[in-house]
Amino acid sequence: MSAVLRATGLWKSFGSRPVLRGVDLSLSAHEVVTLIGASGSGKSTLLRCLNLLEPIDDGQIFLGEEDISDPRVDANRVRARFGAVFQSYNLFPHLSVLDNVTLASRVVRREPRRDAEERALALLERIGLAEQARQHPDRLSGGQQQRAAIVRALAGDPEVLLLDEITSALDPELVGEVLDLVRQLAADGATILMATHEMAFARDVADRVVFLDAGTILEEGPPTQVFGAPRHARTRTFLSRVLP
Ligand code: ADP
Ligand code: MG
């Protein structure tokens, strides 16, 4: 099976401190992979390296057939093939929800506004945010903002969705609606790599769980294996700290 995204031997340091130490990771089409690991283990750095927000020191990244780690690639063009959502501050505060969602289509892909808005409204409708389309993000709840950010990430028909702790800035009662949307996207066949500290979600929705420990993938496998029968003592220690 050909990989949608494949990274091999990724190394990344900040100053003299290695943060990614030889990471190999690949995602097949429609696969949902959750990335777990202690704070500081390198989850965000890995996601940022994959969509070229951070330069890597060594290794290769393939998106489909293309070697996107080739220094000659146009990083903006490559990033438009990913959908990325972060912990917070995903939406431009001075633009309406609709303009946020359609911005990339209009500006990067030069799609006519009417077409972009039609598709955006259909997406917003599907997740119950059509009424908020003309409002500014500060009028929305945190959960609605993150759902709108996910819709914006989807608007460009991304090959892979990268989600980085997208619920960690939310009040607990708002987490469910955002995770429900991710669950729906997964069921619809999206290819997703998601760093999360929502362990129940990581277990329930993932096809595969990847445990990152100090910049290396210590263990990965189906959720039943990683959560039910972890192979490494460090995985067990981590899980015993984060599982209820
Ligand atoms: P995680 O997302 O798993 O919590 P991060 O990838 O954010 O981990 O961070 C991994 C390590 O890299 C941390 O020690 C963090 O302080 C460091 N780090 C992350 N980004 C930078 C940066 N831009 N400059 C320097 N150090 C960084
Ligand atoms: Mg992080």
Domain range for 221: 1-81+196-244
The closest alpha carbon to 201, from 178, 228, 217, belongs to 178
Which residue type occupies 9? G
Of the chain, the percentage scoring pLDDT greater than 70 comes to: 100
60: CATH = 3.40.50.300
Whether residue 173 is contained in a domain is answered as no
Residue 220 in any domain: the answer is yes
In a domain, 105, yes or no: no
Q: How much distance in Å is there from the Cα of 110 to the middle of ligand 1?
A: 35
Coil vs helix vs strand at 136: coil
pLDDT in tens, 189-238: 999 999 999 999 999 999 999 999 999 999 999 999 999 999 999 999 99
- Nearest CA, atom 25, ligand 1: 14
Atom of ligand 1 nearest to the CA of 47: 6
Query: How many A from CA of 19 to the centre of ligand 1?
Result: 7
Is there a domain that residue 204 lies in?
A: yes
Judged by its nearest atom, the ligand closest to the C-alpha of residue 50 is 1
The phi, psi pair for 70, rounded to 5°, reads -65, 125
Is pTM beyond 0.85? Reply is yes
Identify the pLDDT of residue 1. 58
- Locate 111 and state its tokens: 């799609």
Closest residue (by CA) to atom 7 of ligand 1?
44
Closest ligand to C-alpha of residue 164 is 2
The verdict on residue 169 lying in a domain is no
Q: What is the pLDDT of residue 127?
A: 87
Q: Pocket of ligand 1, candidates 16, 23, 45, 48: which has the most ligand atoms within 8 Å of its Cβ, to mutate?
A: 45
Res. 104: pLDDT tops 90: no
Considering every ligand atom shown, identify the ligand nearest to the alpha carbon of residue 169 and give its number: 2
User: What does the mean pLDDT of the chain come to?
Assistant: 94
> Is 202 part of a structural domain of the chain?
yes
Which ligand 1 atom lies nearest to the CA of residue 54?
23
Residue nearest to atom 12 of ligand 1 (CA): 19
Residue 244 has pLDDT above 80, yes or no: no
Q: Is 76 part of any domain?
A: yes
How many structural domains does the chain have? 1
φ/ψ region of 211 (left if φ > 0, alpha if ψ in -120 to 50, else beta) reads: beta
Go through 134-158 and write b for each residue having 16 or more CB atoms within 10 A of its CB, e for each that does not. Answer: eebbeebebbbbbbbbbbbbbbbeb
* 107 assigned to some structural domain: no
Nearest ligand 1 atom to alpha carbon 38: 3
Pocket of ligand 1 (CB under 6 A): 14, 19, 37, 39-45
Instruction: Please tell me the distance between residue 40's alpha carbon and the centre of ligand 2 in angstroms.
Output: 7
Q: What is the per-residue pLDDT across 109-163, written as a single tens digit (0 to 9) for each? A: 788 999 999 999 999 998 889 999 999 999 999 999 999 999 999 988 899 999 9
